[in-house]
Amino acid sequence: MRRRLWIVLLILMFWVQAVRASETQVAFLDVGQGDAIAIVTAHGGSMLIDAGTRKAGEEVVVPFFMNAGIDAIDVVVITHPHADHIGGLIPVLEQIPVDRIYANYDIHPTETYKELLLHIENLDIPFIRAEPGTGIDIEGIDRIEILHPGYPLSDDINNNSIVLRIEIEGISFLFTGDIESQVEEHLIQQQANLKARFIKAPHHGSKTSSHLGFLMAVQPSKAVISCGKANPYGHPDFEVLLRYAALGADIYRTDIHGTITVLIEDGSVDITTYKRRAALLAD
């Protein structure tokens, strides 16, 4: 009887893995006050856009990839070198091989960034400057466009954030780092391809971003805001929430919903949320 039970359990495990393998996951991870987006495709491709703080990397990002059965990450994108976006990459690099890293080559003389760069150098990971026109290929992702930044960089680290537009089975995503209204307006003037079904709200829903003209250019039906519970910055701003709501976009927030995962299979989309019992506090 016990043997039969184990066989049934093994069959169920294989079945669950087969089901998961047929879906692409785009997970906006609950890393508190920070950003981390993990993508695992149905074809085995993997990508990480930012990784939250060091604590978030240890407690959220690394476990996500391990639970997904990913033994190496194809691409990491560092949108900009603030600690709430890069700190978690240190434990990631310590535990999971990474094939290549894209960054904007911005200068930010903090100990966290210095430590991260030393890890990248010691591990001999290709460190590639991302700019419009740079090609990024990942199995299972149809298109990755780098829309920003241009060069030379500005003096504003947030506004030097890498902006990515990604398409997976006809489903489009816009990942915006911490850009503010100046860059949003610049992208409109450049006639960048902004339209996307999903948008990662710029700068954690700050009032300095997500201006109405930009949102009208994107025309999102879903907005995801990555922010920490009771964070000291007041993110997301109430007026920003009103702008998304006025355009009819469904709003998901990591401080309320936890990790928000977009599951894509044969062009169909399902959205799931998972709230951890012990949420990461705002730094």
Q: Which domains does the chain have, with CATH numbers?
A: 23-274 (3.60.15.10)
| Whole-number average pLDDT of the chain | 92
- Distance in angstroms (rounded) separating the CA atoms of residues 71 and 53: 21
Distance CA 12, CA 14 (A): 5
Confidence at residue 143, expressed as pLDDT on a 0 to 100 scale: 97
Query: How much is the pLDDT for 179?
Result: 98
- pLDDT given for residue 151 in this prediction: 94
When pLDDT is averaged across residues 162-168 and rounded to a whole number, the result is: 98
For residues 32-61, average pLDDT: 97
The model scores a pTM over 0.75: yes
pLDDT at 3: 55
Is 60 exceeded by the pLDDT of residue 15? no
270-277 own/partner pairs: CB under 8 Å, 24+ apart:
271/222, 274/30, 275/30, 276/30, 276/60
User: Which distant-in-sequence residues (6+ apart) come within 8 Å of 25 by Cβ?
Assistant: 38, 39, 40, 68, 261, 262, 263, 264
Rg (CA), the chain: 19
Q: What is the pLDDT of residue 280?
A: 62
Q: In which band, very low, low, confident or very high, does the pLDDT at 2 lie, cut at 50, 70 and 90? A: low
Question: Can you give the pLDDT at residue 4?
Answer: 58
Work out the percent of the chain whose per-residue pLDDT is above 90.
Answer: 88
The answer to whether the CB of 280 falls within 8 A of the CB of 60 is: yes
Tokens of residue 117, six digits: 């760069």
- pLDDT tens-digit series, residues 88-102: 999 999 999 999 999
Residue 14 has pLDDT above 50, yes or no: no
- The band of 27, judged by pLDDT with boundaries at 50, 70 and 90, is very high
146 vs 14 pLDDT, higher one: 146
Q: Which pLDDT belongs to residue 100? A: 98
What pLDDT is attached to residue 22? 77
Tell me: pLDDT of 247 over 70: yes
Termini Cα distance of the chain: 52
